[in-house]
Amino acid sequence: MHEECGVVGVSFQDEAPAALSIYYALYALQHRGQESAGITVHDGTHVKTLKGMGLVPDVFDKADINKLRGHVGIGHVRYSTAGGSNLDNCQPLLVNFKSGNIAIAHNGNLVNSGELRDELEKEGRIFRSDSDTEVIAHLLVKNLMHHGLEESVKELLKQLEGSYSLTILVGDKLVVVRDPLGIKPLCFGKIDNGYIVASESVAIDILNGELIRDVRPGEMLVFSNGTYESHQLLRSNNCAHCVFEYIYFARPDSVIEGKLVYSVRMRIGAELFGEHPVEADIVSPVPDSGITYAIGFSKCSGIDYLEGLMKNRYIGRTFIMPGQDMRETAVRLKLNTIKPNIDGKSVVLIDDSIVRGTTSRRIIDLMRKSGAREVHMRVASPAIISPCYLGIDMPTREELVAAYKAVKGVEAVINADSLGYISVEGLVRSIGIPQEDLCLGCLTGIYPVEIPGERCYKRQLKARCGRTRGILRGYHSDPLFLTINHKKV
């Protein structure tokens, strides 16, 4: 699985250069996207953009940063979920119109982008990319032609359905928006002579800043001249924070919604042992994402923590490996066993999630070939049974190994001696946020927004502000949700 992207915004009080701060912040968010990176700055008169395919240090060098002169700017790292992997879809996206220009960086995924794009194209608007970010940009420009900034952004929020955390340059103002359900993370902090907004607090830390708080769901912040204003544009009955930020995507040293991710993962590891105890010789993580969970499991169980796998961190993500032998070679290139640590031992193997099951099977087979006597798999997320429509690049339901298999069936597929997933209730307890304020769609098949053919929480429909209404196709036995079919009425 891959997260779509990370966003950054910086606003300084004087002529301090924003580009270098954005560069370092994007470096801290590199884990959120490795396909492309971009920076846009404004110097009070002109806007300048530089973006390209690749990692942050591959796209920018010192000369590039020096050319990007401006005291306010935004940045983006991307992994594509909506829109292909090409330069046209790199962000920030710059749009010119008769009253000026806007630049926009987006983390998330719209579920009604196709409908909105069709309407805009009928009005004669031309698209240069296939990303939903350009849809957002066109809608905002259209609103700005008739309204002031606050009313334009409020109308924008009423039009969009899905997940979005946005950093926007409107002239030399930094505008920040988070969707009314708060699905994607966004926070802001104080740095020397200015402010920074970012997908995760680690970007604030790297600039020696101080975290102020998360941007509230449905809130707009406007930064200008060393100050900021807050406007609560929309409110929802509940939030829907993505649980996979805590399970996988966010760095362990990030603070999201007041929760240190590292501490959450330690609690998940302890909860895993409480729900699925096992007698074994060692607890070993699948690096790197399983490490914190394994520490929590080890501390709670009293079983020694010992690494049985070592990760090669210099392997690219785009290996093309034809044939079974070459695919197994690719696994060994990325992960190698520390044979003396596992030979003849019963191992508890801890991973963040199981998606298709193929990687888990290869890892377990690798450990058995290195002499592991038993391999007991423990997983820090509940079984993934449904796809994500809100910004995670996840396989279809047919490809998800747990969608149509019980635990014993998945256990056989991955060749484990036993398999234990954390329960939804245990996950919620570990995070410390009420279940009604979390998005658990991929784990339950029930989503916080309307998606054709999927189930949606009734209580969150009351808080919707979109232009598309749900037509009921019939009630499920659980009164908390309905099955929705999109139609215009």
- What is the DSSP code string of 286-324? -TTTTHHHHHHHHHHH-PEE---EEE-TT--S-----SH
Residue-wise pLDDT tens digits, 314-370:
765 433 444 555 556 667 788 999 999 999 999 999 999 999 999 999 999 999 999
Angle at which helices 407-414 and 358-369 cross, to 10°: 50
Retrieve residue 445's tokens. Answer: 């098949």
Q: Considering 5, 187, 239, 242, which one is annotated as catalytic?
A: 5
Residue 36 has a pLDDT of 94
Find out whether the peptide bond into 325 is cis, omega within 30 degrees of 0: no
Could you tell me the fold of the domain covering 2-236?
Glutamine Phosphoribosylpyrophosphate, subunit 1, domain 1 (3.60.20)
Q: Residues near 293 by Cβ (< 8 Å), separated by ≥ 6?
A: 265, 266, 268, 269, 272, 285, 350, 351, 352, 378, 380
Contact 394, 79 (CB under 8 A): no
Residue-wise pLDDT tens digits, 155-207:
999 999 999 999 999 999 999 999 999 999 999 999 999 999 999 999 999 99
Q: Which of the four CATH numbers 3.40.50.2300, 3.40.50.2020, 3.40.1190.20, 3.60.20.10 does domain 261-428 have?
A: 3.40.50.2020
Give the mean model confidence (pLDDT) for residues 199-225: 97
Residue-wise pLDDT tens digits, 81-113:
444 556 777 999 999 888 789 999 999 999 999
Residue-wise pLDDT tens digits, 387-425:
999 988 777 899 999 999 999 999 999 999 999 999 999
Amino acid identity, residue 154? Answer: K
Residue 63 has pLDDT above 50, yes or no: yes
Residue 462 has a pLDDT of 40
Residue 98 has a pLDDT of 80
Residue 83 has a pLDDT of 46
5 is catalytic: yes
- What are the angstrom distances between the C-alpha of 344 and each of 141, 172, 372, 390? 65, 64, 5, 44
Residue 333 has a pLDDT of 81
Residue-wise pLDDT tens digits, 123-132:
988 888 888 9
Residue 316 has a pLDDT of 53
Residue 1 has a pLDDT of 53
Residue 71 has pLDDT above 60, yes or no: yes
Give the mean model confidence (pLDDT) for residues 215-224: 98
Give the mean model confidence (pLDDT) for residues 271-277: 98
Which one-letter DSSP state was computed for residue 199?
A: S
Task: Calculate the average pLDDT of the chain.
Answer: 88
For residues 460 and 333, which has the higher predicted lDDT (pLDDT)? 333
CATH 3.60.20.10 location in the chain: 2-236
User: What does pTM read for this prediction?
Assistant: 0.88
**467 pLDDT tier (thresholds 50, 70, 90):** very low
**15 pLDDT tier (thresholds 50, 70, 90):** confident
Residue-wise pLDDT tens digits, 291-311:
999 999 999 999 999 999 999
Give the mean model confidence (pLDDT) for residues 53-57: 94
**How many whole angstroms separate alpha carbon 74 and alpha carbon 429?**
36
Residue 226 has a pLDDT of 87
CATH 3.40.50.2020 location in the chain: 261-428
Residue 460 has pLDDT above 80, yes or no: no
Residue 426 has pLDDT above 80, yes or no: yes
- Which of 47-51, 80-84, 315-319, 461-465 has the largest mean confidence? 47-51
Residue 469 has a pLDDT of 30
